[in-house]
Amino acid sequence: MTKDKTAILIVDDSPDTREMIRRHLSLHYPVVLTAGNVDDAIEVLQNQEFQLVITDLKMPGASGLELVQYVRENFHNTGLMMVTGYATIEGAVEAMKQGVGEYLPKPFTGEELLSLVDKEIKKVKKRQSLESETAASGKYGLIGCSEPLQEIFRVIEKASRTSATVLITGESGTGKELVTRAIHYQSKRSSAPFVPINCTAIPQELLESELFGYVKGAFTGAETSRAGFFQTADGGTIFLDEIAEMSLMMQSKLLRVIQEKEVYMVGSRKPAAVNVRIISATNKNLRNQVEAGLFREDLYYRLNVINIELPPLRKRGNDILLLINHFLRKHSLDMGTKLPALPENTLNLLQNYPWPGNVRELDNLIQRLVVMHNGESIKPADLPEYMKKTSNMPQNSLQRTLAEMENDYIKKVLEQTGNNKSEAARILGIDRKTLRSKLD
Ligand SMILES: Nc1ncnc2c1ncn2[C@@H]1O[C@H](COP(=O)(O)OP(=O)(O)OP(=O)(O)O)[C@@H](O)[C@H]1O
Ligand SMILES: [Mg+2]
């Protein structure tokens, strides 16, 4: 939306005030219309889109407050401003609660008027551009348009066109499962089953029969034959979550399945062909696990034909804003509450927080805030204590790694303790040995 298209509606019962505002604004904005009462205003609003409505509070007939409610319910992207006499400031405060962005007490100068209008129009534009970005980037339910995420979208597309194995790595809560589903549902396999398995949720000794099934009499209690997840997923995709936790014995059996494209049900010597795509995920560094002898190197290469490394949230720049907006809407809608407002200073705190729990942590926090603040404004004080402590961090902390932040923090604590390592270790909640190794 350029300034050229900005349309403003002025609603006031006094022709003098109406005219005075109109004269000032029409010097700067191309479309400035007026209405003398709420009914007329609603009629005008139904025929044209406005970026801003400026209304008086007390008018004969319906009041400005009713107009505010009407605009909020029907045009959530339109900004609202209220002009009011001293006697009605209390009403104006009520109006702010209802979603009026700015209010201007009478009498006012043309300059005051223009600066407030400008401020409100800017807010409206920012909201609109955030919204259109969110809509444009909601591919596969994955919100974000930062460079690292664009790259992820490209790999998802590439991976969807093949049946190659995919290994997805990334910190907890970065969207590994979401990406896996995206690949499956984009691929030719989308009409066949998607079967997710968490390798830690099933005891290792049961994993084999769960994955490959068993035949009658394979073990005590096996009264009938039962198919495993691989058979269920035939033609589709199996998702092996937390693959790093799989026992070495199961790893070798899985390797065989990948190599031979067939499974042996427990208790059977007859192989059965399966056509299953394997996507696995872990928040551990699987390379290190290989080096430590905990993960088979040959399996690692077999699983890792396509690699997707999901960046932590703190490295996704403005995606944080898009995600906040997305979760605010989603949870308000889900819970039937009003959309709360997030003022600039609250947003700053959220942007500067390092989000160790990534998107899941952000999702959970926003959900809690939506529940507790039903349509009200969320102030910095409403955020959890540990988030406020990051307020004096530099603005660009989002671009920094956790290691860099840790480094800075350790340095600060050392300075504060006059380089007393025992004291510093105590404050940091680590032992001296750990501190020493970090200093190295
Ligand atoms: N880019 C995104 N856009 C929208 N929602 C997201 C995005 N990334 C993750 N989420 C949401 O965050 C939550 C965590 O995502 P997911 O379960 O895929 O993470 P994960 O990497 O598998 O985590 P873990 O390692 O803990 O298993 C989910 O509710 C998911 O829908
Ligand atoms: Mg997961």
Query: 306: which residues sit within 8 A by CB, 6+ positions away?
Result: 155, 158, 159, 162, 164, 165, 166, 167
Are 169 and 281 in contact, with CB atoms under 8 Å apart? yes
CATH of the domain at 425: 1.10.10.60
Cβ neighbours for 196, distance < 8 A, ≥ 6 positions apart: 177, 180, 238, 239, 241
DSSP states of 87-134: GGHHHHHHHHHTT--EEEESS--HHHHHHHHHHHHHHHHHHHHHHHHH
Q: Based on the domain organization, do 296 and 216 belong to the same domain? A: yes
Do both 266 and 411 map to the same domain? no
Q: Do 303 and 363 lie in a common domain?
A: no
Same domain, 87 and 146: no
**Ligand 1 contacts CB of residue 178 (under 6 A):** yes
- DSSP-derived letter for residue 190 is G
Looking at the structure, do residues 282 and 328 belong to the same domain, yes or no? no
**Same structural domain, 216 and 323:** no
Other C-beta atoms lying within 10 Å of the C-beta of residue 59: 20
User: What's the CA-to-centroid distance between 91 and ligand 2, angstroms?
Assistant: 49
What distance in angstroms lies between residue 197's CA and the mean position of ligand 1's atoms? Answer: 16
**Is residue 150 domain-resident?**
yes
Q: What is the pLDDT along the chain (440 residues), one digit of tens a residue?
A: 444 578 999 999 999 999 999 999 999 999 999 999 999 999 999 988 999 999 998 888 998 889 998 998 788 779 999 988 765 667 777 777 777 878 888 888 999 999 999 999 988 887 777 666 655 556 778 999 899 999 999 999 999 999 999 999 999 999 999 999 999 999 999 989 999 999 999 998 899 999 999 999 988 888 999 999 999 999 999 999 999 999 999 999 999 999 999 999 999 999 999 999 999 999 999 999 999 999 999 999 999 999 999 999 999 998 999 999 999 988 888 788 888 888 888 999 999 999 999 999 999 999 999 988 888 889 999 999 888 865 444 444 445 566 777 787 788 788 878 888 888 888 777 888 888 888 88
pLDDT given at position 182: 94
Å from CA of 241 to ligand 2 middle = 6
Distance 358 CA to ligand 1 centre (A): 8
The helix-helix angle for 204-212 and 248-260 (nearest 10°) equals: 20
Domain count within the chain: 4
Structural domain contains residue 407: yes
Residue 186 lies in a domain: yes
Which residue type is seen at 347?
Answer: L
| Same domain flag for 19 and 158 | no
Any bridge partners for residue 307, and if so which?
167
Distance (Å, whole) CA 307 – CA 168: 6
Does residue 339 share a domain with residue 298? no
**Pick from 253, 288, 309: which residue ends a domain?**
309
Dig out the tokens for 149 from the structure: 């995420």
**What are the pLDDT digits (tens) for 365-376?**
999 999 888 888
Kind plus residue range of the DSSP H or E element containing 348: helix 344-352
Q: Do 333 and 227 share a domain, yes or no?
A: no
What are 335-390's pLDDT values in tens digits?
888 888 888 889 999 999 999 999 999 999 999 999 888 888 899 999 998 888 65
Which ligand has its closest atom nearest to the C-alpha of 196?
Answer: 2
Identify the burial level of 120 via C-beta atoms within 10 angstroms of its C-beta, where 0-12 means exposed, 13-18 middle and 19 or more buried: buried
177 lines ligand 1 (CB under 6 A): yes
CA dist., res. 215 & res. 253, Å (int): 17
* Domain with 286 in it: 140-309
**Cα distance between residue 422 and residue 261, in whole Å:** 57
**What pLDDT is recorded for position 97?**
73
